[in-house]
Amino acid sequence: MVSYGALGTVNGAAKFVSSTTVGILWTAVSPTLAFALAALLMAAGTLRKL
């Protein structure tokens, strides 16, 4: 059961970091750049798993 807690902690931390990063970019630079970075990171994550 410890693995479920570890998984939740890692997922939660990653979601917090990604939301914060995109939120800062959205506010400070532009929404277009924020979406572009999010799309690039999602694509990189998908390709890494292949």
Q: Where along the chain do its domains lie? A: 2-49
Q: What is the pLDDT of residues 3-44, one digit of tens each?
A: 888 999 999 999 999 999 999 999 999 999 999 999 998 898
Nearest residue to 14 (alpha-carbon basis) of 32, 39, 41, 34: 41
Nearest residue to 17 (alpha-carbon basis) of 46, 37, 43, 44: 37
Confidence tier at 45 by pLDDT (50, 70, 90): confident
Gap between the terminal Cα atoms of the chain? 28
Confidence (pLDDT) at 48: 74
Question: For 16-31, b where at least 16 C-beta lie within 10 A, e where not — what string?
Answer: eeeeeebeebbeeeee
